[in-house]
């Protein structure tokens, strides 16, 4: 099955700084790469996603980059705010549409 590695497991940043989380995957057939934000006790919320025919996508302070050759993709959060504190999960899917998740990154934004 798909193996998704996510780093770092924890990330502490000063408010206003940027945060970067990276995921690598093993299946070259993977073609859909979403990122989810999960607050304590709540459901995963989709924050951004990218498909394999696109190298980069941006939505306000959040961006995702994809390198299909190297099989890795990254989440970039700029101008971090305290409300960005949460656990972030990357996920990968291919034509079977099931999601394989990374282990998660706990992001703490220090005020």
Partner 1 sequence: EPEVTQTPSHQVTQMGQEVILRCVPISNHLYFYWYRQILGQKVEFLVSFYNNEISEKSEIFDDQFSVERPDGSNFTLKIRSTKLEDSAMYFCASNLEDRMAGEGYGYTFGSGTRLTVV
96 is a site residue for partner 1 (CB under 8 A): yes
98 is a site residue for partner 1 (CB under 8 A): yes
With CB under 8 A as the contact rule, the residue among 14, 43, 83, 111 that binds partner 1 is 43
Is 71 buried (19+), middle (13-18) or exposed (0-12) by CB count in 10 A? middle
25 is a site residue for partner 1 (CB under 8 A): no
We find the least distance from the C-beta atom of residue 49 to partner 1, in angstroms, to be: 6
29 is a site residue for partner 1 (CB under 8 A): no
We find the least distance from the C-beta atom of residue 66 to partner 1, in angstroms, to be: 15
């Amino acid at each position: 099955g798909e193996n998704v590695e996510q780093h770092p497991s924890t990330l502490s940043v000063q408010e206003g700084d940027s945060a970067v989380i990276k995921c690598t995957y093993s299946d070259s057939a993977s073609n859909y790469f979403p990122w989810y934000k999960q607050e304590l006790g709540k459901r995963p919320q989709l924050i951004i996603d990218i498909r394999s025919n696109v190298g980069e996508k941006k939505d306000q302070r959040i961006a995702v980059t994809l390198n299909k050759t190297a099989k890795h993709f990254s989440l970039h959060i700029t101008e971090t705010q305290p409300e960005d504190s949460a656990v972030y999960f990357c996920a990968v899917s291919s034509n079977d549409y099931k999601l394989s998740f990374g282990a998660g990154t706990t992001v703490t934004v220090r005020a």
